[in-house]
Structure 1
Amino acid sequence: MKQKLIRTKVTVRLRKSEYRKEWYIYLESYPVIVPGKEEVQRIREYLNRTVTTVEFDKKRVAKRTENSISFKPKRDDNGVIICKSDLDKETMFYADSVRKIRQREYDKKNIYNEVDLLQETMNEKRQENFVDYFKSLIKRRHKNSSDSIKVNWERTLEFLKSYGDDFIPFGKIDMKFCENYKTFLLSAPLGGNKKGTLSQNSAATYFSIFKAALKQAFIDDYFLTDISAKLKGISEIESRREYLTIDELNTLVETPCDYEVLKRAALFSALTGLRLSDIQKLKWEEISMENDAPRIHFTQQKTKGVEYMPISAQALQLCGKRKSSTTLVFSGLPDSAWISRPLKKWITSAGITKKITFHNFRHTFATLQLSSGTDIYTVSKMLGHTNVRTTQVYAKVVDEKKNQAAEAIQLKTLKN
């Protein structure tokens, strides 16, 4: 049974003598836990001292009966009872000194009780299941997050259970456990029907999520130390951002696609930089005309950021004929899980050998914008990036193109 956390207060009190005009001085301590007693106790300790010249506050009634009324004594700013005679004043200072000693004794005892209670609470928490806590975090922190964020957290949980178990007590999680889990992720199988192992970048993502969960657990008092702060994350390998050239885009325009809505949505992404998740949920009410220029006003599914940006006349043309405000612009667009096959067929039919996913059309927008001279800060805003550093990866692709262009013109070796 848990100890009850208390704050004992010691106060100097007075009790009127029945036979003389004097008051006995005692200390009252409350609340006090006494072994063997279920309820907290009120302890009185008489100091074998009396006073006779107490000043009473006529505005503060202590006790009222049919035949009499008593008042509370006046106290100074330090809580010491005020008396008129010097002898009584010294007596009250003595009483207050004893009170301070008793108060320190109780405070010290309470501190030990709190430490014991904290230790007992931590022992109980160490037995709780981190897997269940992780599940609750997904519901609590990412109730309104994008599907991609939820999927990454759920995938992290699956790998955690594969490494450990469905039951991982908090007491088992230490630096060694975490470092071993990191090693596991770097060679973990993909799972399902897929062959191979996790990429280093995927492992880095899942481990960073694991660290975020540890950080929250520390905040929620499941750990006495912040383990996440001591863990070094998995470094990401900079991956190549594949993109399409203008000529390849024009080839795709002329190439038929089994799903016309998929073709329009992909080209729309290349012209606006919108993600698939945003295009799937785009409604006509989010497209407006201002000074004959089309604009879109929407909330990003991934970051939940509100975006307000212009689009080109060609991008608007890809949206088709305007319909009611709540109608989806790209109604009938296949789910992300079913897009890969028809997209690949369309890309192959166009004679393009690059490995292109729908997201590469967003990369195409960023790369072509930077290549055409649009500054990186503007491109960052148009992509909805919260940090311009995220956009800088596209600038490296452009720099690579510049380096290739610099070597494009070759002269014969000049002779002296």
Structure 2
Amino acid sequence: MKISIDLREPDRDGKKAIRLIYYAGSYIDPETKKRKHKRSRESLSLFLYDNPRTPAQRLHNRETQRAVEAIRAKRLYDHETGKHQLDSGNALKSSFFDYFQKVTNQKALDTSKSNHSIWVSTLKHLKQYYQLPDLTFGEVNQSFMEGFRHYLMHEARTKSDSALSRNTQYTYFNKLRACLNQAEEKGILKDNPTRRVKCIKAENNKRTHLTKDELIAMAHAECRYDVLKRAFLFSCCTGLRWSDINKLTWAEVEPFYDSYRIIFHQKKTNDLQYLDLSSMAMQLMGTRQESSARVFRGLKYSSWHNMELLRWAMKAGITKQVTFHAARHTFAVIQLTNGVDIYTLSRLLGHSELRTTEIYADIIESRRRDAMLSFPDILPLPQGKD
């Protein structure tokens, strides 16, 4: 590997930012048949004066040049001794595609089908972007990640030849980041480029939820499938995902003081969760069965059941596009409206990051309006008024 020092154009203050450029060989572009260089860049928090005029500025330049040379020498040494390579000593030759495939295979066992399919799609797009038979860990650097980010945002297409949605771009890029982070956590990867590359920001899509009155109307309306009705209302009052409700067994429902709680592993994340149950939730679960039995036996995910969910909502006088996941959104919004803080809600929903829960705060228009209108009046009274 070759590392060179690069000076940027001077800014309006006459300062030239410094960065290192890493050269990791070259390859032949399969489309243009032209040779391209594999480069990555590292910005340093250092600068040189373009035209030093004082002794202090000239001293600054000399010391900075020595510091940059020392950093470059350190990077070269780290590379040679394997500091930025795999512990196996074969970093630049080990297949990242193979590693990503192993992680994807494990997701098929640990997570939902939908999550596994996202990992599968991400790998397909990685191979579509790279265009070469194999990709090594050494080639997954800052430059590669920035290129893949640009590919997802401007070039990648769906099967129907349309551009990827922003949230799909966000999801695929985060799978790449998650894979690299996992490799780092396991001690496989020493130099993780994810910290030097910007994320793709997700869009806050409109999330359908039911108001308290609409939920009551649903509870009183008739539904063709009793198990669908009970499972949906159970999700509304617990926040559980369909996947967790569908696999819930009576063995996971345990007595806790004078009530009950569920102790289960989330299907999506495999994290252990504890969820206390209200008397209403217990009533929706029905009569207790043997430990191995599913609580909501007969619950199925199909287009027919989804259609019945819409029919049920229409019988309740609701014209919203109600899906089963709307129940989880309903739980979150009602809890926030009732004054539950965002951190507690995040724990109840089983979110690994607080920012995932914060999307629900934008839905609470009434609380936002009350917050604005309740600001105290600080202006003095007009003259002549008490």
Q: Which bracket does the TM-score occupy, shorter chain normalised?
A: 0.5 to 0.7
1:163 has 2:151 as partner:
no
Native 8 Å contact 1:287 1:295 kept in 2? yes
Structure of larger gyration radius: 1
Which residue is equivalent to 1:401?
366
Pick closer, same or farther for the CA change 1:292–1:172 going to 2, 3 Å: closer
How many residue pairs get matched? 294
1:154 has 2:117 as partner:
no
Which residue is equivalent to 2:150?
183
Following TM superposition, by how much is the alpha carbon of 1:270 offset from its aligned partner in structure 2, in angstroms? 0.2
CA distance in 1, matches of 2:361, 2:330: 12
Which residue is equivalent to 2:333?
367
CA distance in 2, matches of 1:159, 1:366: 34
CA distance in 2, matches of 1:134, 1:208: 13
What RMSD, in angstroms, separates the aligned Cα atoms of the two structures? 3.9
Which residue is equivalent to 1:322?
288
1:285 has 2:244 as partner:
no
CA distance in 2, matches of 1:182, 1:353: 38
1:66-215 correspondence runs (5 A): 126=92, 129-139=95-105, 143-165=109-131, 167-170=133-136, 173-187=140-154, 188-191=156-159, 196-215=162-181
CA distance in 1, matches of 2:315, 2:248: 28
Q: Secondary structure at the match of 2:268?
A: coil
Q: Secondary structure at the match of 1:267?
A: helix
Q: Match of 1:155, as an amino acid? A: S
Q: Secondary structure at the match of 1:186?
A: helix
Native 8 Å contact 1:148 1:302 kept in 2? no
Unaligned runs of 5+ residues in structure 2 are 1-76, 374-384
Q: Secondary structure at the match of 1:295?
A: strand
Pick closer, same or farther for the CA change 1:341–1:289 going to 2, 3 Å: same
CA distance in 1, matches of 2:263, 2:250: 10
Q: Match of 1:189, as an amino acid? A: R
Pick closer, same or farther for the CA change 1:130–1:356 going to 2, 3 Å: same
1:340 has 2:298 as partner:
no
Q: Match of 1:184, as an amino acid? A: Y
CA distance in 1, matches of 2:189, 2:350: 36
TM-score under structure 2 length normalisation: 0.63
CA distance in 2, matches of 1:380, 1:179: 31
Which residue is equivalent to 1:66?
none
Q: Which has the higher contact order (CA 8 A, sep 6+)?
A: 2
Which residue is equivalent to 1:255?
221
Unaligned runs of 5+ residues in structure 1 are 1-110, 409-415
Q: Match of 2:120, as an amino acid? A: E
Native 8 Å contact 1:131 1:166 kept in 2? no
Q: Deviations over 1:51-100 (max 9, x none)?
A: xxxxxxxxxxxxxxxxxxxxxxxxxxxxxxxxxxxxxxxxxxxxxxxxxx
Which residue is equivalent to 1:272?
238
Following TM superposition, by how much is the alpha carbon of 1:184 offset from its aligned partner in structure 2, in angstroms? 2.3
Following TM superposition, by how much is the alpha carbon of 1:186 offset from its aligned partner in structure 2, in angstroms? 2.1
Deviating more after overlay: 344-353 vs 197-206: 344-353
Following TM superposition, by how much is the alpha carbon of 1:157 offset from its aligned partner in structure 2, in angstroms? 1.0
Native 8 Å contact 2:107 2:116 kept in 1? no
Following TM superposition, by how much is the alpha carbon of 1:346 offset from its aligned partner in structure 2, in angstroms? 3.0
- Taking every aligned residue pair, what percent have the same amino acid on both sides? 38
TM-score under structure 1 length normalisation: 0.59
Native 8 Å contact 1:129 1:167 kept in 2? no
Q: Secondary structure at the match of 1:183?
A: helix
Following TM superposition, by how much is the alpha carbon of 1:326 offset from its aligned partner in structure 2, in angstroms? 1.2
Pick closer, same or farther for the CA change 1:258–1:200 going to 2, 3 Å: same
Q: Deviations over 1:309-359 (max 9, x none)?
A: 322222111112221121100011113777533333433443323233212
CA distance in 2, matches of 1:125, 1:249: 55
Deviating more after overlay: 303-312 vs 241-250: 303-312
Pick closer, same or farther for the CA change 1:318–1:181 going to 2, 3 Å: same
